[in-house]
Amino acid sequence: MAKVPDVAPSSWAVGWEERPWGVDASANVATQGLSRRQRMAARGPYRAAVPATIAALPVHTAAEVTAAAEDALQEITRFDAELAQGLSHLGGDSDGELAPLSAVLLRTESASSSQIENVTTGAKDLALAALQEKTGTNATLVAANVDAMQRAADLSDELTLDSMLAVHRTLLHGADYAEPGSWRSGQVWIGANAPTPHRASFVPPHSDRVVELLQDLIDFCHRTDVPVLQHVALAHAQFETIHPFADGNGRTGRVLVHTMLHRAGVTRCLTVPVSAGLLQDTESYFRALTAYREGEIEPIIARFTEAAFAGVGNGRALVSDLQSVTHGWLDVVTARRHATVWRVLPVLAEQPAVTVPYLQRRLDVSQPAAQHAVDQLLDAEILTPTSAGRRNRVWVAQEIVEALDAFAARARRR
């Protein structure tokens, strides 16, 4: 039986409760390979967090924090509107908004979110993974994160326990250790060098509290009396504090950010690169989460404000780079007006690695038409082959890969 929580003085701060340790298989596994002294230190009860219920808590922030967050929100809205202009010169299958850019930014945001968790891949490998070509494990994981972000877009009209599970199931598909699509069934803790929760930097709530806390969080997310960016930042911090999954909490929590921005009507594309902004100073991000758990809500709001400005700035630089590349394409491609090659160009901006069968399916054209378009782009030096063989050849738009890698490099730069 857990002890009554030791409630912290601030209403936003977590409380703590003692939980028994050493009575289940996970405890035995955690202490394997430890010295006798280390095993002694890992005996007895440990303290697990009891997060505050926040559904009805008042949100009070200093005027300057509120004003900065509002400015950042306006910047997000402006950038989202700008996406309707970005690469419209390419035409393609655009439905009135920029055809490839929403997908490009979806990918870059997914990659940045994964990189915060030290899951890193280059733009070329990510594009190859999207074709299900053989790549490294990280590229496969990031490609799954892209699917999860798209799932968030599809589910943005609802925010429920089931929709959270659906996003996690997509995000961690195939990673059985993470129990995809299931709430965690055991205790987790944060701290890479902590073999047991006794010396962890943070111990989230016990698994038997997860569902009740998440329902409270969902109730908080449905409030309409909290300014949008503050609302998003606090919901994200509470989600990370609950830590409801065995793995993938950070990436799933950042999907929640985009879901809330979309639900609030701030974005249409669900792709504003907030994670890229957080990536510029992950230490500050983690410190802000710690402050939140201690009852200070302003640091996480301020960090999201900074991330919004940084991410939008980086996103604009990427759009500029892509415009420069694709305008150059129009100068070197010569073909009749309705040739298939013109429909391939916007696809390359989104998916810079292609095969002939992929283009056949994507554009619903014949094999000869797809192959002829590839040949034209090869002659124009827009595409290059990834291997010398003729069978199952993959073609890459290297200039797009370089623009995307430059975006990632800027996101990592302090």
The verdict on 172 and 228 lying in the same domain is yes
Determine, yes or no, domain membership for 246.
yes
- CATH of residue 385's domain is 1.10.10.10
- Examine the pLDDT at 133 and tell me if it is beyond 90: no
* Model pLDDT for residues 240-269, shown as the tens digit of each residue: 999 999 998 988 888 888 889 888 888 876
Query: What is the pTM assigned to this prediction?
Result: 0.85
* Model pLDDT for residues 137-176, shown as the tens digit of each residue: 777 777 777 777 776 667 656 789 999 998 888 878 778 8
Task: Tell me how crowded residue 128 is: count the other CB atoms within 10 A of its CB.
Answer: 23
The verdict on 199 and 146 lying in the same domain is yes
The verdict on 249 and 340 lying in the same domain is no
Residue 333: per-residue pLDDT:
92
Average model confidence (pLDDT) across the chain: 84
* Model pLDDT for residues 47-104, shown as the tens digit of each residue: 999 999 999 999 999 999 999 999 999 999 998 888 766 555 565 443 333 346 667 7
Of 256, 274, 308, which residue sits at a domain end? 308
- Residues with Cβ within 8 Å of 147's Cβ and at least 6 positions away in sequence, in order, are 170, 171, 173
User: Is 74 strand, coil or helix?
Assistant: helix
The C-alpha atoms of residue 307 and residue 301 are separated, in whole angstroms, by 10
The verdict on 151 and 245 lying in the same domain is yes
Q: What domain count does the chain have?
A: 2
The verdict on 269 and 406 lying in the same domain is no
Give the model's confidence band at 378: pLDDT under 50 very low, under 70 low, under 90 confident, else very high.
very high
Range of the domain at 375: 334-410
Residue 46: per-residue pLDDT:
93
The C-alpha atoms of residue 318 and residue 400 are separated, in whole angstroms, by 10
The verdict on 266 and 371 lying in the same domain is no
- The gap from C-alpha 343 to its chain's centroid, in whole angstroms, comes to 29
- Examine the pLDDT at 277 and tell me if it is beyond 50: yes
The verdict on 304 and 398 lying in the same domain is no
The verdict on 276 and 145 lying in the same domain is yes
Residue 173: per-residue pLDDT:
77
Residue 98: per-residue pLDDT:
39
Q: What angle do CA 240, 242, 243 make, to 5 degrees?
A: 60
Determine, yes or no, domain membership for 231.
yes
The verdict on 272 and 354 lying in the same domain is no
The verdict on 377 and 279 lying in the same domain is no
